[in-house]
Amino acid sequence: MLEDDSIKDKVRKQFAKNAEKYVTSESHAKGKDLSLLIEWAKPQPDWVVLDIATGGGHTARTLSPHAGHVFATDMTRQMLANTARHLRNAHPNIWYVVSDAEQLPFLDDTFDLATCRIAAHHFPNPDQFISEVFRTLKAGGTFILIDNVAPGEARLADFMNSMEKLRDESHVRCLSINEWRGLFAAAGLEEAKTLTRKKTYDYPTWVNRTTVNSEQIARVTNFILHADKDIQGYFSVDIHNDDVRSLQVDEWMVLCRKPCPPTGG
């Protein structure tokens, strides 16, 4: 428990310090997955929606015109306050709640739709997160998760998570698709639709978002430069004169539903 508290303190400090960067981040603000959210979820005007670990609020903002109420939650008060400043006037149906994804302060069977985008790799107990999603969804409700995922091969997964941890001390772990599927099944969520894609990072932008000094940047860069060629190949690392220009990671988008209880015959 103390270890979890320490991890969550790091998350709060990291996101409080970089709140504005996440609001303006191109990869967070303009991903193609945002338009797919509407296409997949088909939110209705009377829906109550939960966006978990909203960060810069891009998902909440996207859903707001299509739903009745959107509850944007985040564990970092400063991040949430910054997001509210950007969105409150244009999106009056978004409500901002300081909340831990693993202990949601909502009643059972509250939400028609729950979302979590590019955040779950910061959660120390993803099983608790998924259990809370299931608990707070209405029967028949929809959950959409979007996150970076680790490759199935352990060696590649270890590289990805080590690289992320060097860049961002609040990173916990990117799970593999199979690991997520195990958590969904254990909670009772039923997978309905998925999409996997390669996401390209402009390396200077990506590495500067969370690092604190040039020494930390150098550690991340050297870790990538000294990786085996097949690892560099998997992550499509573009290197020019010992400068890393870009790299790719796997991102997974999945839609699950909370099943309705069987009707009596």
Question: Which residue, chain included where needed, has tokens 């209405």?
Answer: 138
Q: Give the mean model confidence (pLDDT) for residues 90-110.
A: 97
Q: How many Cβ atoms are within 10 Å of 247's Cβ, its own excluded?
A: 22
CB count within 10 Å of CB 148 equals: 18
- 112-127 pLDDT, tens digit per residue, is 999 999 999 999 999 9
- What residue ranges do the domains of the chain occupy? 2-151+171-200+249-257
Of 6-10, 70-74, 178-182, 228-232, least confident by mean pLDDT is: 6-10
Residues near 108 by beta carbon (within 8 Å), at least 6 away in sequence: 135, 136
- The H helix count followed by the E strand count for the chain is 12, 8
When mean pLDDT is compared across 21-25, 109-113, 203-207, 230-234, the lowest value belongs to 21-25
pTM of the model: 0.90
Q: Which two tokens stand for residue 250?
A: 């796997």
Higher local confidence (pLDDT), 22 or 11:
11
Distances (CA, A) of 63 to 119, 170, 203: 17, 27, 29
- State yes or no: pLDDT of 199 exceeds 80: yes
Give the CATH fold of the 2-151+171-200+249-257 domain.
Rossmann fold (3.40.50)
Average pLDDT score over residue span 190-209: 96
pLDDT in tens, 22-40: 554 455 455 788 989 999 9
